[in-house]
Amino acid sequence: MPGRAHWVYTHPRSNSLNRRLLRAGSAALSERYDVAVSDLYADGFQPALGERDLGSFAADPGSTSELTGKAYELGEVAPEVRREQERLAAAELLVLQFPLWWYGPPAMLKGWVDRVLQTGFAQGEFDESTGLPRRYGDGRLMGRKALIVVTAGDDQRTLGPRGISGDIETLLFPLTHGALWYVGIEALDLHVVYDADSLDEAGQEREAERLTTRISGLQDEPGRPYRRLLDGDYGRSSRALRTDIHPGRTDLAIHRRE
């Protein structure tokens, strides 16, 4: 039986390069997986987390995260969120595809993260043996991998380690580490299409072929070696990296094992 994959597509235009990549990529992925595609704009997904996500606890005081968890326990989940959670729960591979807007994902995808990775569904447990929360490699969605497909108008040097726009690895750290790894999903290396606004027909075709080639070998790719919270690299109280590991460094790469 084929595995399952959930492709979350985030672009508002039907004739875009991203749409072309979606068609080529999802077709290639379908050769190995049963693929469910969520086209967030076409589906009318509502990205703003609001009182509807709190269910019958909307008027209660307290943490929004905790209240959404209580709503989840009672099954008070909006249909579009429930659909996404069911697709993600059934998948072993998650694909997130989006254009880089203002150095981050579109608000639509950020809203998908806010609403779908809900307390009770994706995170919110504690490890009784350690007293630490189950997060950063030990969340409820562990065992899954994620491929991030992102198009960018800048070139590779501009989005490189010394580029004026910032290193794209750092720009997307809140997604790869702060969201996905937080709930246990291992992100694969980014798949970036640079100079996306300047590609002609031949260039777009090359990028579609490059994506399909990448997808054909996904099963052999390892996830990013981020450090797990429970492995002892972080202090129990501060949850900061131990001072004997990469002393003096503060860059985000310190959170990856070598």
pTM here?
0.93
Task: Estimate to the nearest angstrom the gap between the alpha carbon of 29 and the chain centroid.
Answer: 18
Contact between 13 and 99 under an 8 Å Cβ cutoff? The reply is: no
Band (pLDDT 50/70/90 cuts) for residue 190 is very high
User: How sure is the predictor about 220, in pLDDT bands with cuts at 50, 70 and 90?
Assistant: confident
In the chain the beta strands, taken as DSSP E runs, fall at 3-9, 33-39, 93-99, 126-127, 132-133, 145-151, 186-187, 191-193
The three-state secondary structure class of 135 is coil
- Please check the confidence at residue 2 and state whether its pLDDT lies above 70: no
Q: For the stretch 162-187, what's the b/e string if a residue is b when 16 or more beta carbons lie within 10 angstroms of its beta carbon?
A: eeebebbbebbbbbbbebbbbbbbbb
Count of all residues that appear for the chain in the document: 258
Nearest 5°: phi and psi at 176? Answer: -70, -40
Q: What angle do CA 213, 215, 219 make, to 5 degrees?
A: 120
pLDDT confidence of residue 128: 76
Average pLDDT in the 205-230 region?
93
* Whole-number pLDDT of residue 238: 66
Class of domain 3-226: alpha beta
Q: What is the pLDDT of residues 75-134, one digit of tens each?
A: 999 999 999 999 999 999 999 999 999 999 999 999 999 999 999 999 888 777 777 788
